[in-house]
Amino acid sequence: GVVETRTLRTVKRDTVITSIPTFDFEGMIRNGYFKLDSLPQALKEISFDVKAEGPTEKIKDIKFRIDNLNLLAMDNFVKGHFAVNNLTTYDVDARIEANIDFENIKEFIPFDEAILRGNFVIDGTVKGSYEPKRKRFPVLNTEIKLNNGYVQLKRLPELPIEDIQIHTIIKS
C-alpha cells in the first residue's frame, strides 16, 4: 500500500507492506562444523533448531525462535535459546550462557586487529514484552564477568589496556 504524509508545502508518499503470505518454516543443524583453512581450530558441535511462522497475512503476527543453540570452539562455548512471539508487543523469551577465553579466539575466528586476553562469562535471561509506550520492558536477569582482561590495538601498540576486571549483575 501507499501512505501519504502531508505538510503545508509537500506531500510525501511511501510504500508500506500491507500483507505478507502466510508461512511456516522449520529447520535444524546438528553436529555442525566450520573451519577456515588459514586457522588451526574449528567451530564444532554447532547445533540449533529454528522455527519461523507467519500464521496470518499481518507482519506483526510473525513468530520466530531458535532453540537448543550450542557452539563449541576449543574450551569456549555458547548455549541458549531465543524466541519472539510477535512483532507488536515483542514478547521475548531468551537465555544465553557463554564462556569465552579471548586469548584463543584467534585460533578459530580471523581477528588480527588487536591482541585480546581474558575470560568472558555471561549467564542471562530475558523474559517479557517490550512496549515502550506502555512503559513495559522484559525482565532481565544477567550476570557478566570479564576476568584478567587485556586489549592492545595494533594501531596503538604503545597503549595497552591491562588488568580489566568487570563483574556486572543486571536485574530488572
The 10s digit of each residue's pLDDT in 16-25 is: 788 899 999 9
Residue 30 — φ and ψ, nearest 5°?
-130, 135
pLDDT number for residue 7: 84
Coil, helix or strand for 106? Answer: helix
Res. 4 pLDDT band, cuts 50 70 90: confident
Say if residues 24 and 39 touch (Cβ distance below 8 Å): no
Distance of CA 73 to the CA centre of its chain: 18
Spatial separation of the C-alpha atoms in residues 170 and 139, rounded to whole Å: 10
Q: What average pLDDT score do residues 58-82 get?
A: 96
Spatial separation of the C-alpha atoms in residues 167 and 172, rounded to whole Å: 17
Res. 144 pLDDT band, cuts 50 70 90: very high
pLDDT number for residue 149: 96
Q: How much of the chain, in percent, has pLDDT values that exceed 70?
A: 100
Average the pLDDT over each of 73-77, 95-99, 125-129, 132-136 and give the range with the smallest value.
132-136
Residue 22 — φ and ψ, nearest 5°?
-70, 150
pTM value is 0.79
Say if residues 119 and 146 touch (Cβ distance below 8 Å): yes
Q: How would you list the strands of the sheet with 161-171, edge to edge?
A: 23-34, 43-54, 63-73, 76-84, 92-101, 114-128, 139-153, 161-171
Higher pLDDT, 33 or 14: 33
Q: Any idea how long the chain is?
A: 172
C-alpha cell at 99: 564462556
Show Cβ contacts of residue 8 under 8 Å, excluding neighbours closer than 6 positions: none
C-alpha cell at 154: 595494533
The 10s digit of each residue's pLDDT in 101-130 is: 999 999 998 888 899 999 999 999 999 999
